[in-house]
Structure 1
Amino acid sequence: MEKIDLAKLHRRYYNPPASPVLENFGTVPYIAIDGRGAPTGPVHNAAIQAQYSVAYAAKFAAKAQGNDFVVAKQEGLWWFDDGEKRPAAQVPREQWNWTLLIRVPEFVDAEALGDAVSASASKRPELEYIDQVYFKELDEGDCVQMMHHGPFEDEPQTVAAMNQFMAGHGLEYNGEHHEIYLSDIRRVPAAKWRTVLRYPVRPRC
């Protein structure tokens, strides 16, 4: 049985250059869960556990039907409450809003994910938030993205390069800050972390 690897099928999505580029990926299906709180905080960590439990339940169910796939890298949408104008570094991390995403093949639809949520809840009743995992389709339209190398604290330098690119092409933000986490931060030194940064954009008004 061939195992689908989305990272190999969608290289532009997962492997942008280390300089800004303009892309459009159309509608993409995900396993999603929403929350609020500090990255790596207790709510965030519990949400990750619930999300991955459902992701593997969806994988095993698909494999049983002859459609195996590699569980994709985790992604995140990040934003602040309406009216918040401070830079991210100045906003208390407990006030960060997020949607965690895991991209799935197109044969994992809302019905299949609902079955995976039920199966995961039955198998892992001790996990919080499993009932909050849901199927999400997202079309961000035109996006500026690039690869960030290094720790998350250095992202402002990468974002500045993206802002300069946007200004030069007459673009402005049109959605949430989007990240794709390619490195296992538990095992890889921070200097070698690779994170895709992406912003939906539109022509400046």
Structure 2
Amino acid sequence: MEKLDLAKTYKSYYTAPTKPQLIEFEPIWYVTIQGQGDPEGIAFLNATEALYTLSYSIKGIYKKEEKDFTVAKLEGLWWVDGDRKALDVPREEWHWKLLIRMPDYVRAESVEEARSIAMTKKKELTIISDIKYETLHEGACVQMLHVGPYAAEPESLKQIEHFLTEHRRKIRGLHHEIYLSDPRKVKSSKMKTILRYPIAAAEVVKG
């Protein structure tokens, strides 16, 4: 039985150059969970565990159907309330939605079956019930690979801002990160994270 590896099948989704690039994506299915707080806090850690627990339960169902797949990388959408920059806001006020991409053949009823299995295995993770199965359609995007610690992301974001100005584009969606490295196993200086934003063409000011 051949195992589906989404990272190999969708290379343009899970790879990016170290300089900003324009790219476009079709609607994609994910299991998602939303919350608020410090990414090193207990709420974030529990949400991550819940999302992986459900994802592996889904994988188990499809493995029995001989449609096994590798559980994909963790992703996150990030935002803050009001017209403020995230780094000017206490981390406890950060909003996030965590995502794990699913193969196209995953059915909603299988997700519910997996949810029951996951909640039986991890009774203490009641937030498994909050996980949704939904699509995200970002369409046209700008993205780049950030190499280094999360705290150094502003350096890469400046490159993205300059690129958007040059190409007369504007951000029209949430800050999106794909975590290619496990911070428990990789030095912070070598961590790889894809930074992505949905974009729209800049409005033309008519004289």
Q: Same fold (TM over 0.5)?
A: yes
Moved over 4 A (4+): none
Q: Distance in 1 between matches of 2:119 and 2:41?
A: 22
Establish whether residue 196 from structure 1 lines up as the match of residue 194 from structure 2: yes
Read off the aligned partner of 2:135 and give its amino acid letter: E
- Where does the alignment leave 5 or more consecutive residues of structure 2 unmatched? none
Matched residue, 2:169 = 171
Pairs within 5 Å for 1:44-193: 44-81=44-81, 83-85=82-84, 87-193=85-191
Following superposition, the deviation at residue 34 of structure 1 comes to: 0.5
Distance 2:60 2:77 in 1: 26
Instruction: Name the CA distance, whole Å, in 2 between partners of 1:172 and 1:110.
Output: 34
Matched, 1:6 2:6: yes
Alpha-carbon contact 2:176-2:195 (below 8 Å) kept: yes
Per-residue displacement from partner, 1:178-199 (whole Å, max 9, x unpaired)?
0000101011100000000000
Any unmatched runs of 5+ in structure 1?
A: none
Per-residue CA deviations over 1:39-84 (Å, capped at 9, x if unaligned) read 0211000001111000000000010011000000000000111x23
Conserved in 1, the CA contact under 8 Å of 2:119 and 2:126? Answer: no
Coordinate RMSD, CA, aligned? 0.9
8 A Cα contact 1:75 1:102, kept in partner: yes
| Worse overlay, 111-120 or 169-178 | 111-120
- Partner in structure 2 of residue 16 of structure 1: 16
User: What is the TM-score normalised by the length of structure 2?
Assistant: 0.96
Describe the superposition over 1:18-38 as per-residue Cα deviations: whole angstroms up to 9, x where unpaired. Answer: 011111111011010010111
